């Protein structure tokens, strides 16, 4: 569970590390054949990644791993590599990194009153290429470009039409529907489910960017993170005003 309701479950490094650790532990247990990720409360699945937060306490082994990969990368990879399906039960709004996290899940089931959006451009951020690839694979090039270029917030029905969501149900039905869906998966042959998910991942991996393209994309991400536009985007968000970007 994304458990930070006082901050609309905004993702912190500690929360993402917890996802990584939990899924890594459960991956060795063939009795856990489906995992559900949801937000605490009913207001938000997650408001997105809290870039102001830093990890608190981590083991020496994990600290060494974090020198190579970010907490967000670890969480995303643990969802992708979990041997059985992972379901996002989207019980509230989801934006930015949380939208990406939901897209990474194998199945997305949402309450019919939620909203989602990819808002990096509104904050002065160039989003990571792997995340853009995940959105493209989910909604297609046209919808992905619209989402990232406009930073729009989309209502549930539109998200379903775009392919971002697999199922829409009433808020009252959401938990029961999701649990029943997970049970339907877990009742199937474990080896068949594990093998099928691995094949899906192998197919997805064949579409990865080359090293040169990855480096160029990383340069753009770093440039945006060091920009004055990012500072302006964050300030405008906190002050609830329209940002004045200057492209620097």
> What pLDDT, on a 0 to 100 scale, did the predictor assign at position 68?
82
> What pLDDT, on a 0 to 100 scale, did the predictor assign at position 209?
66
**pTM (2 d.p.):** 0.85
> What pLDDT, on a 0 to 100 scale, did the predictor assign at position 112?
97
Contact assessment for residue 85 and residue 107, using Cβ atoms and an 8 Å cutoff: yes
Beta strands in 73-192 (DSSP E): 86-90, 93-95, 107-111, 115-117, 154-155, 167-169
Contact assessment for residue 72 and residue 107, using Cβ atoms and an 8 Å cutoff: no
Among 188, 154, 230, which residue's Cα sits nearest to residue 30?
A: 188
Q: Cα(1)–Cα(49) distance, rounded to whole angstroms?
A: 15
Contact assessment for residue 91 and residue 38, using Cβ atoms and an 8 Å cutoff: yes
Residue 213: pLDDT over 80: no
Q: What is the mean pLDDT of residues 227-238?
A: 81
* Dihedral angle computed from the Cα positions of residues 219, 64, 106 and 98, in that order, rounded to the nearest 10 degrees: -60
Helical (H) or strand (E) element with 38: strand 35-38
Span 5-172+191-205 CATH architecture: Alpha-Beta Complex (3.90)
> What pLDDT, on a 0 to 100 scale, did the predictor assign at position 102?
97
């Amino acid at each position: 569970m994304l458990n930070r309701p006082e901050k609309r479950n905004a993702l912190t490094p500690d929360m993402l590390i917890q996802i990584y650790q939990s899924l890594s532990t459960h991956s060795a247990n063939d009795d856990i054949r489906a995992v559900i990720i949801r937000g605490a409360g009913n207001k938000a699945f997650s408001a997105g990644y809290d870039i102001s937060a830093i990890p608190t306490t981590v083991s020496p082994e994990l600290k060494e791993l974090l020198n190579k990969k970010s907490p967000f990368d670890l969480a995303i990879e643990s969802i992708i590599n979990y041997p059985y399906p992972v379901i996002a039960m989207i019980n509230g709004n989801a934006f930015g990194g949380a939208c990406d996290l939901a897209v990474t899940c194998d199945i997305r089931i949402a309450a019919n009153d939620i909203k989602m959006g990819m808002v990096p451009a509104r904050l002065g951020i160039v989003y990571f290429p792997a995340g853009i690839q995940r959105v493209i694979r989910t909604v297609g090039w046209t919808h992905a470009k619209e989402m990232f270029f406009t930073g729009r917030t989309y209502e549930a029905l539109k998200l379903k039409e775009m392919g971002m969501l697999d199922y829409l149900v009433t808020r009252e039905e959401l938990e029961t529907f999701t649990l029943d869906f997970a049970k339907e998966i877990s009742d199937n042959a474990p080896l068949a489910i594990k093998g099928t998910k691995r094949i899906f991942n192998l197919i997805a991996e064949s579409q990865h960017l080359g090293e040169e393209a990855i480096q160029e994309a990383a340069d753009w991400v770093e440039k945006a993170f060091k920009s004055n536009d990012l500072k302006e985007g964050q300030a405008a968000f906190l002050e609830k005003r329209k940002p004045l970007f200057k492209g620097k």
